[in-house]
Structures are given as structure tokens and as C-alpha cells.
Amino acid sequence: MKRKAVAVLMCVTMVGTMLAGCGSSSGSTGEDAKSDSDNESKEEVVLKVFDAHAYGLEQYEEMVQQFEEEHPGVKIEVQHASNDYDTLLQARVNSGDIPDVFDVEAGTKAQSYYEYAYNWTEDKEIIDSFHEDALAGGTDAEGKVMSLPWTYENMGIIYNKDLFAEAGITELPQTMDELEAACEKLDAAGITAFALAGKENWVLGQLVTHFMMDKSLDAKGVVEKIESGELTFDNMPNFKNVFRFLDLAVKYGPAKPLEVDWEISENMLANNEAAMIHMGDWCQSTLDSFNPDANLGFLPCPVSDEKEDTTLLSSCNWTYIVNKDSENLELAKEYCEFILTSDMGQYWMCDGVGAVPAVKSDKEVQGKLANDAKTYVAEGKTNGWIHTIAPTGYGDAVGPMIQGYISGDLTAEEVTAQMQAFWES
């Protein structure tokens, strides 16, 4: 009898706990853990925001606080899903829990969400506040502005100025031959020239796009020509030089290139252990946390024997979408506009994130690399990103090919053929 009572008690406890869980969950859905639950919270409007930001979060918080102060009764619920971002966003969209405001990578990824996006084309005032080229990344096939740009992100070779000076390199290399000469000088000074993140598919994929670029066509033009068949990986003028580049990176790089991940790559550069890596200015905060005194700058990637061909690739990669079916559409639009164009928003982008905003702004930008790239951008010397408008799965398809070349399992011809096959499938 006693045991039966225990069993019954257990059942009751379980049901009771579950009911308690029910009660607290329906009360907590939509509420921020830090907010007080009083009567007012039931009439609150909650705006759901979802992004992939991993830094500048303190400034973001300040920005959110200001918006909430200016809009009493409104609560901003942000999820910074920097890890597994795509999966989580997909899951949310599929479960009907589409965020009111969210950001996506421009290009093929953003396109897939455009059927849920609010169309900004008629909001002339807002559109005019952005740089024209920045908006290009957020337009769909018919030229409608479906998402708003965030900041410019630049990628290319990042080099360690102190190490270059130590090796006696006075002029930045602009051709493949000059690059090789620079490597030899670094080697002679006992410096590891490269710390390419060979383990990362996405780094390798991005590196390759420099050698696909044709400055007269820019990113979109190149992709169009590849798809129409006019341009193949065989007849691309500079593609074959990627193999020469890789050979240099391996010869003058760490002993185990395929084991270097982004973290090790950036750490070596910042700690003066390697002179060059391929990366973008989004890694500024990580580099700073490794060594705030590191003297680094962008080196437009040499791709041929012509100095004019060097490429620094720039794009407003992250672009913000407003859910067109949002319950609070006007508020969502206002929030989006606020974070991307207002003074507070600019403070977040320039100081917190340290990048150059897409909106026209005079604010000083904190990120050293972003500032370095600014001059190139202003002089129109940059080109767009190919890998985000490439067919989906580009990085994970190309990365292994390059790794195969580095390990010697694939020849240059085989890689070229596989690249062609990938694009055609």
C-alpha cells in the first residue's frame, strides 16, 4: 500500500510540475527574462529581431534601450544567433515564427527569403540615404529593393606591416612574381609568410574568387558569363594562378596547412608569427582581442602579372529584411530604419562593430582594417563578392577541392574540371 501511495504521489508530482511548467511558459513566451511581469506587460508590443551578430553587442544593447525609451510599451526581443544561424532561421521560418526583422547574407541566401520580405522600393527617402552600390546587394531579379544593407565588409589578404618592414619589403607586391619575391624575403628573415586557414572550406572558397574576378565585368558579370557558358574555368585569364598562389602559401606557410583554422590563422597574424592571411575585416574584434597593438592592413590580392588586376573584394554582405506579414509592420520598418540609418545606429556600426556603414555617413569608423579599406572603396577600386551569388553550397564544394590540391591528391587540371562541373550542375 505504501508503495502504491508513492507511485500515485509521483504521478501527481509529475503532472503538477508539468502544469507549473505550462503556466510559466505561457507567461514567459514573448517576455524578456529580465523584464518584470506586471500588468503592463500584457499590453506590450513585442518586436522579434533575429540576427547573426557576435560582436558590438554592448552598443547594440544601448541602441535597443534608446529605441524602447522612445517607444514606450514596445519591447525588442533580440536573438543573436551567431552559431548555426542558417539552420535556426530556417527552423523559425518553418515553424511560422518568422522574426519581424532579421538579417541574411546578401545573394542567393537572401533571395530565398524575399517572398517573405517587405518591398522598400517605394520608400524613396529611406533608400536615398544609402550609398547606391550598397543597395545593389538587396535588390531582387526585377530590381525591387527587398532588403536594406548593413555595413561594408571587405576581404583580401591581410598583412602584418611590422613583419613586412622587418623583411625589408618596401613596396606592396602587386603581381604574382612580386608576391613570390616577397615570400622569399620573408623566408630569408626567418618569418613564416602565410598562415592560410586551410582547414576552413569557406576561406578557401573566398580565396578562389579573387582569381575568378574580371574587373571589367565585376562579380555579377562574371557569374552571368559563367552561367551562360561564355566563361569557363579553363579560359578564365587568372584562374590558373590560384594554384601558384596555393603553392606559395604551402611552401612558405605552416608545416600542416590543412590543420590551420580561422582562429589559429588570425592568432598567428596578430601575434607576429605570420605575415599574411586571407580574411576579411569582420575579424577585427578577434584580432584586437589577440593583440590590439598589431599593425595590420589590407593587401589587394595579386592575381596575375598585371598590377591593375589586384583585387580587394567588398560587399554589403549582411542585409536586413522586414517581414511583410508582420503584425507590427510599421514598427518593424521603423526599427529597421533606426538601426541602419539613425545616429544611434551609426554609433553601433562605426564604434561597436567597427565597420563602414552602408548608409551615407560622416562618422569615424573604429575598425582599423575597415578604415584601411575605406580608401579603396571610395576610389572605386574594389569588386564584389562572387561566392555569395554562386550556386548554393559553393564553399563546401570548392573547399574540399582545394584541400585535395594542397594535399596532392588532385592536380590543378582536376580541380579546374571539378570547378566547372560544380558550376554546371
Residues 31-70 within binding reach of another protein (CB under 8 A): 31-34, 48, 50, 52, 54-55
Beta strands in 107-231 (DSSP E): 148-149, 153-160, 192-194
Task: Give, in order, the Cα–Cα distances in Å from 159 to each of 154, 163, 178, 184, 408.
Answer: 14, 8, 15, 15, 27
Taken in order 228, 231, 234, 240, the sign of the CA dihedral is negative
Q: Which of residues 143-202 bind another protein (CB under 8 A)?
A: 198-199, 201-202
- In the complex with another protein, the residue whose CB is nearer, 111 or 129, is 111
Task: Write out the binding residues for another protein, residues 401-420 only, by CB under 8 A.
Answer: 401, 403-404, 407, 409
Among 63, 76, 81, 331, binds another protein (CB under 8 A): 81
- The site map against another protein for 194-223 (x = CB under 8 A) is ----xx-xx---------------------
Of 39, 95, 228, 235, the one binding another protein (CB under 8 A) is: 95
Q: CA dihedral in degrees (265, 269, 273, 277; nearest 10)?
A: 60
Least separation in angstroms between residue 271's CB and another protein is 7
Q: Site for another protein (CB under 8 A): which residue of 3, 190, 330, 380? A: 3
Distance of closest approach, residue 212 Cβ to another protein, in angstroms: 20
CA nearest to 355, candidates 416, 306, 282? 282
Of 281-310, binders to another protein (CB under 8 A) are: 282-283, 285-286, 289-291
How many CA atoms lie within 13 Å of 81's alpha carbon, on the beta-carbon side? Answer: 19
Residues 218-257, interacting with another protein (CB under 8 A): 255-257
For another protein, the binding residue among 9, 12, 14, 165 (CB under 8 A) is: 14
- Using CB under 8 A as the binding rule, the residues of this chain from 373 to 402 that contact another protein are 392-393, 395-396, 399-401
Q: How far is CA 299 from CA 159, 160, 173, 210, in A?
A: 6, 10, 8, 12
Number of C-beta neighbours around residue 383 at 10 A: 22
26 binds another protein (CB under 8 A): yes
| CA pair distance 375, 100, nearest whole angstrom | 35
Shortest distance, CB of residue 11 to another protein, whole angstroms?
Answer: 7
- CB nearer to another protein: give 4 or 124: 4
Interface with another protein (CB under 8 A), residue total: 85
Report how far residue 297's alpha carbon sits from residue 299's, in angstroms, rounded to the nearest whole number: 7
Q: Where in 103-142 is the site for another protein (CB under 8 A)?
A: 108, 112-113, 115
Task: Please check whether residue 147 is in contact with residue 110, taking contact to mean a CB–CB distance below 8 angstroms.
Answer: yes
Give the one residue of 70, 97, 177, 343 binding another protein; rule: CB under 8 A: 97
Residue 218 C-beta: closest distance to another protein, Å: 25
Closest to 206 measured CA to CA, from 161, 263, 156, 281: 156
